[in-house]
Amino acid sequence: MTASFLEEVKEEAGRATEQLLLQAKTEPGDILIVGCSSSEIVGERIGTFSSVETAQAVFEGIYEVTQAHGLFLAAQCCEHLNRAVIVEKELMKRDHLTRVNVVPKPKAGGSFGTTAYQRFKEPVAVEKITAQAGMDIGDTLIGMHLQPVAVPVRIEVKQIGNAHLVCARTRAKFVGGSRAVYDEALL
């Protein structure tokens, strides 16, 4: 990858994260789940052309923003690891998450998960999480790690490199039926 391509995907990832967080109503301590196909970013089919340097650029763009907003970044691994998630040990303990024993690698876990494992202070792999917002870069299917109810978020950034980008926020479930009154701030 060229230096200009890597800088471009880092910038796109950071900008997309900022745009998502503007609409997602996240609070410090919330979780952003990211699924990222570095293969798709470089224009190849998912799972066929893992690129560590591309994943590192995307990670840097996203991580800078999540840190500035006080959020936990969670990196979804690929299906070879049953979409396990790399998080900080602090989050695992806070949310009583189930730890699994795996160290992601580019061809077994994905380059983005591998990068998170290398860059986090105390990385651990967990089986699943319940995130308040999400970014799916390259159609990696992050829905299993989003808190119900997931709501699509439309932002200006439509792709990272060549990869399709889908963003989501979550909202509280509505309960109570037709006579219920709802808190507009939670919509």
Rounded to whole angstroms, the maximal C-alpha distance in the chain is 59
Whole-angstrom CA distances from 55 to 5, 34, 60, 114, 182 are: 12, 11, 9, 9, 41
Domains of the chain: 3-186 (3.40.50.10360)
In which residue are the tokens 């880092």 written?
A: 10
Predicted local confidence at residue 187, as pLDDT: 80
Q: What is the pLDDT of residues 93-103, one digit of tens each?
A: 999 999 999 99
Q: Can the peptide bond before residue 149 be classed as cis, meaning omega within 30 degrees of 0?
A: yes
Cα 97 from chain centre: 17
Token pair for 52: 């560590």
Q: Please compute the mean of the pLDDT values over residues 44-69 and round it to a whole number.
A: 97
Whole-angstrom CA distances from 9 to 21, 116, 121, 167 are: 18, 17, 24, 16
Q: Alpha-carbon distance 169 to 146, whole Å?
A: 8
Over the chain, what is the mean pLDDT? 96
Q: Is the pLDDT of residue 127 over 90?
A: yes
Stated pTM of the model: 0.94
Q: What is the pLDDT of residues 86-95, one digit of tens each?
A: 999 999 999 9
Q: Is the pLDDT of residue 1 over 80?
A: no
- When pLDDT is cut at 50, 70 and 90, the band that residue 55 belongs to is very high
Which residues fall within 8 angstroms of residue 83, CB to CB, at 6 or more apart? 35, 76, 77, 141, 144, 145
Predicted local confidence at residue 80, as pLDDT: 86
